[in-house]
Chains A and B, each alone.
Chain A
Amino acid sequence: MIRKVRPHINQNEPLLFERSSPGKRGYQLPALDVPAVDAAAVLGGRNTRAEIEGFPEVSEVEAIRHFTRLSTHNYAIDLGLYPLGSCTMKYNPRVNEQVARIEGLAWAHPYQPESLSQGILEVMGALEKMLAEITGMDAVTLQPAAGAHGEFTGILLIRALLESRGNPRKKLLIPDSAHGTNPATATTAGYAVENIKSNARGMVDVEELAKSVTEDVAALMITNPNTLGVFEENITRIAEILHAKGAMVYMDGANMNALVGIARPGDFGVDVMHLNLHKTFSTPHGGGGPGSGPVAVKGPLAPFLPTPRLQRVGSRWTWNYDLAQSIGRVRAFYGNIGMHIRALAYILAHGGDGLRNATKDAVLNANYIRTLIEPYYDLPHKAPTMHECVFSDDRQSKRGVRTGDIAKRLIDYGFHPYTVSFPLIVHGALMIEPTETESKDELDLFIDAMISIAQEVEENPEVVLKAPHDTRTSRVDEVTAARKPVVRWKPESTSGKAAD
């Protein structure tokens, strides 16, 4: 039974381009108090134009209603559980927004002199220090714009360190339970990728790994907990194997929400890692974020961190550009600073105990879901669940229903779908991460929905196969969309034929 939602009326809304009619406008300029100038005469005729073809003209209220109506077609973390596995879609506390809007922070400009930027620099300095403490690492750069950018930066640091020792080496080892961006990072950084298979428990097979660690290996890129939500319990042994051959351990910190306040990567052998502030540290995720992917390193890698480095000289913060071994800039200016402010607000609002509680609640919530839906869905890997759990659609696929169908049906029940078909090592994966945000009530509604769908699969699979039913748009043709994408809207009227 669908308990969380019921259909309600919301309004159709065409594109602004389709709403446009000539002469409508949403602003009124005051009368000039200086003599009018003919722009064409001053700038030259070819630099001016009378109008922009196809530019939408609407009134203010039409623009407001346009975006408000579109927002009612949407789903967001502010409406309910958003269980996308490995994405850590947690609530974005409003105190973060309040702090980020403090005038001196909101209006800070990167070209402002350091003497007038001490406040924002203090924010960044404090955040670097706290992230180093949370991860157990020695130094942090806040420059990378998001997770994959952090990975890339981290691997460039490893390359730089190994080059300084005489040999950058040739390849990176990546477990099949790692994040999908890791192989792309390795390739972009000029390394070949060697896949490491997981064992039946969903962990890196230490014996197999040891065989692969040769003098050609620059590093292992490991996600811990991995994408099965399983903690790599042999991580210290794994790190020893890499270090014994002069290779390094990169940790993808996307799943750090399972560790904060409990375990520190720097204490279990990790040399370099990134964090996703838009996951673990509650800054906005999705909708363009923007993200932020700080990189934390152990001492030997610190000289190679991106330029400039924030440093404290006496009682002042200052940027140090004199870094002979640095890999250089990885981004304009100093990173997505608005996110640094929000992450610091989150850390300070929680304090150490609060952060540890958030981690425990995230793990508790994932285990609660796992325990209650395990009777209805196959769970291929039985190792203890951390912050997320991964089921397979094996039982349902015997009735012709796949993970993607169950996800579509979940929309009818009022939830954003879980992560579908990832990780690839689980056949027909359902990857579910509730985060600490959710109350027991919301989790119970989700669990009821999952159980109800499992029953529908047994009794009436058609209703699941044809889902969603209650949304504005019913099931879309994803195959044609991917094979023949139409990525740009074009007006029908001007050419007299349908948009191509």
Chain B
Amino acid sequence: MYPANFHYTKEHEWVRVEGDVGVVGITDHAQNQLGDIVYVDLPKTGTRVEQGKTLGSVESVKAVSDIYSPVSGEVVEVNDTLATAPEKLNEDPHGEAWLVKIKLSAPGEIQQLLSAEDYQNYVAAEESKH
């Protein structure tokens, strides 16, 4: 379910490292909790973001939720297809529906994130609370 080469946050974002760039998205668990996503608000290319700070937001029929950046750096590419096809976030959150690419300013931050196995356990523990 959760790709082993991704790194995860407890706020349900993922990042995949490609050289000095991190590709960022939200997890399948996140899209499932949000329900049908109707709008995605993403930063412009060139925006500087910090780990743990707001990167953008996703709007579902239920609510608007912040997306927190899993890494610090500069946004170098934005997935524009989500502007017209937000449903892709529900359909393929780990693939086609990545959100932004960030040029990493502190690659060491990756070590603080969860592995796929740890994230899976975290989600299972969250689920059992409900």
Interface hits, B89-110 → A, CB 8 Å: none
Residue from the list A180, A392, A483 in contact with B38, Cβ < 8 A: A483
Contact, CB under 8 Å: B130 / A482 = no
Residues of B whose CB lies within 8 Å of any CB of A are 36, 38-39, 54, 59, 61-65, 86-87, 130
Counting chain A residues whose Cβ lies within 8 A of the other chain, the interface size class is 10 to 19
- Hey, which bits of chain A sit against chain B, CB under 8 A? 180, 193, 392, 394, 397, 404, 420-422, 424, 427, 478-479, 482-483
Interface centre among B39, B59, B63 (most CB of A within 10 A): B63
User: Residues of A contacting B38 with CB < 8 Å?
Assistant: 479, 482-483
Q: Please give, as numbers and ranges, the residues of chain A lying within 8 Å of B64 by CB-CB distance.
A: 180
CB of A287 to closest CB in B, whole Å: 23
Tell me how far the C-beta of A482 lies from the nearest C-beta in chain B, rounded to whole angstroms: 4
- Chain A residue numbers with a CB within 8 Å of B54 are 193
Interface centre among A180, A193, A397, A482 (most CB of B within 10 A): A482
Q: Which residues of A contact B65 (CB under 8 A)?
A: 424
A483 and B39 CA atoms in complex are apart in Å by: 7
Chain A min CB distance to B128 (Å)? 11
Taking the nearest CB of chain B, how far is it from the CB of A328, in angstroms? 30
Contact (Cβ within 8 A) B63 A421: yes
Rounded to whole angstroms, the CA-CA distance of A422 and B64 in the bound complex is 11
Q: Is the pair A478, B61 in contact by a Cβ cutoff of 8 Å?
A: yes
Q: Is the CB of B36 within 8 A of A479?
A: yes
User: Using Cβ atoms and an 8 Å threshold, which residues of chain A touch B87?
Assistant: 483
For B63, the chain A residues whose CB sits under 8 A away are 421-422, 424
Contacts of A424 in B (CB 8 A): 63, 65
Take A421-B62, A424-B65 as given contacts and tell me if A483 and B86 are in contact as well, using a CB distance cutoff of 8 Å. Answer: yes
Q: How far is the CA of A482 from the CA of B39 in the complex (A)?
A: 8
| A404-B62, A421-B62, A424-B65 as given contacts; A394 in contact with B130, CB under 8 Å | yes
Q: How far is the CB of A475 from chain B (nearest CB, A)?
A: 12
**8 nearest interchain CB pairs?**
A482-B38, A421-B62, A479-B36, A394-B130, A478-B61, A483-B38, A427-B130, A421-B63
Least CB distance, B11 to chain A, in whole angstroms: 10
Q: How far is the CB of B97 from chain A (nearest CB, A)?
A: 14
> How far in angstroms is the closest Cβ of chain B from A391?
13
**Measured between alpha carbons, how far is A25 from B87 in the docked complex, in Å?**
48
- By beta carbon, the residue of chain A nearest B64 is A180
Sample of 18 further A-B pairs with CB below 8 A, known A427-B130, A479-B36:
A180-B64, A193-B54, A394-B130, A397-B130, A420-B62, A421-B62, A422-B63, A424-B63, A424-B65, A478-B61, A479-B61, A482-B36, A482-B38, A482-B59, A482-B61, A483-B38, A483-B86, A483-B87
